[in-house]
Amino acid sequence: MASNLDLELLKHLTTKVLPYVDSVGINEQELSNLNNILKHGRVVFVADSNPRIATALDQMRNTFRLIRQKNKKFDSKRKLTRMHVHTLAKQAILTVQNSKWKRTPAAAAKSY
């Protein structure tokens, strides 16, 4: 998704795919782009390849919340319960409390 700047395709992704997933894994550029599409309906043509951790975590929380809203809007049987953002140097995994995702720390450690 990071290299894809086709607005129509990305909008379809947000209405035809994301409302029906329970887990999303993306990199920092994809996170920035997806967050902007969900918030403003626009593509980010230049994304920071090394964002501050606080910025990435804020985008991650916001994107997670917006996708969960789409789950409700589309009355999906699946609800987003996990988001994994990866960079060359860092991993961040967000899960809802008491989710079915077990061994999250081990999964993050194994990905290195």
Stated pTM of the model? 0.82
More confident residue, 61 or 88: 61
CB atoms inside a 10 Å sphere around CB 81:
19
Model pLDDT for residues 71-89, shown as the tens digit of each residue = 888 888 888 999 999 887 7
User: Per-residue pLDDT tens for 4-32?
Assistant: 678 889 889 999 999 899 999 999 888 99
Gap between the Cα atoms of 27 and 88, Å rounded? 9
Q: Are 81 and 101 in contact (CB under 8 A)?
A: yes
CA angle 47, 59, 10 (to 5 degrees): 60
pLDDT of residue 43: 86
